[in-house]
Amino acid sequence: MTIQRASFTRPLIAVAMVAASTFAAVAQRAPVPTRVRGTIESVEGDTMQVKSRTGEEVKLHIASDARIADIIKISLADIKVGSFVGVTTVPGPDGGNNAVEVHVFPESMRGTGEGSRPYDLKPNSSMTNATVSESVVGNDGHTLVVKYKDGEKKVFVSDMTPVVTFMPGDKSELKPGAKVIAVMKQLPDGSLETDRVSVGREGLTPPM
């Protein structure tokens, strides 16, 4: 009886070891980035090749229902109290929050991604989508107080900070030379697909 139990147990141990090693290999894989920022190099049918800002070549399948948005430059004065904005910030030398960019959402996009979270634009950067509750004009920029459902943040926006907004776009703008930010996901076969692309209008590089 003891011999039979041992014979039956050995295969189970072997299977468990293989499963554990497979799980470890999967766990060690680098996570797939959620977006690529760069320049379109080519478009063939529903596939586009993007060269990222850091030099990688990324091939993306364009989903049939992909949403395209144009990004256009606006001025700091266009940020009003009550505007719903997205602000990328990094810690300032004084411990405050310095804006790297600000994008003003159109009214139809109010509430998009509301909250504050880590972001991948720069080291230690965060993204805050919130409503401007206060705007104080200084000599070299604006200080904004932005409020979201779980809190608020005071942000300094200098005169040199890029400020942009969104407009509806279409797939015809996905062409070589266009500067884009594409949200992407990995499909079961390992390929990458995008269903949301922001395109800089007139050669603008999307700052977010």
- Say whether pLDDT at 159 is over 60: yes
Encode pLDDT of 97-155 as tens digits: 999 999 999 999 999 999 999 999 999 999 999 999 999 998 888 999 999 998 999 99
pLDDT category at 12 given cuts 50, 70, 90 is very low
User: Whole-prediction pTM value?
Assistant: 0.78
Q: Give 163's contacts (C-beta < 8 A, 6+ positions apart).
A: 73, 74, 75, 76, 78, 79, 101, 102, 103, 104, 157
- Say whether pLDDT at 161 is over 60: yes
How many CB atoms sit inside 10 A of residue 203's CB?
A: 8
Cα 121 from chain centroid?
8
Least reliable range by pLDDT among 30-34, 100-104, 161-165, 173-177: 30-34
If residue 73 lies in a helix (H) or strand (E), which one and from where to where? strand 57-73
How many CB atoms sit inside 10 A of residue 58's CB?
A: 17
Least reliable range by pLDDT among 26-35, 92-101, 145-154: 26-35
CA distance 41 to 57: 9
Residue 14: phi, psi to the nearest 5?
Answer: -65, -45
Contact between 66 and 194 (Cβ < 8 Å): yes
If residue 72 lies in a helix (H) or strand (E), which one and from where to where? strand 57-73
pLDDT at residue 33 in the model: 60
pLDDT category at 185 given cuts 50, 70, 90 is very high
> Partners of 151 in the beta sheet?
148
> Measuring CA to CA, which residue among 200, 208, 202, 184 is closest to residue 69?
200
| % residues pLDDT > 70 (the chain) | 84
Strands (E) across 74-148 are located at 84-91, 97-104, 115-118, 126-137, 141-148
- Say whether pLDDT at 42 is over 80: yes
Contact between 134 and 80 (Cβ < 8 Å): no
pLDDT category at 71 given cuts 50, 70, 90 is very high
105 token code pair: 């959402």
CA dihedral 153, 84, 115, 183 (to 10 degrees): -130
pLDDT at residue 3 in the model: 42
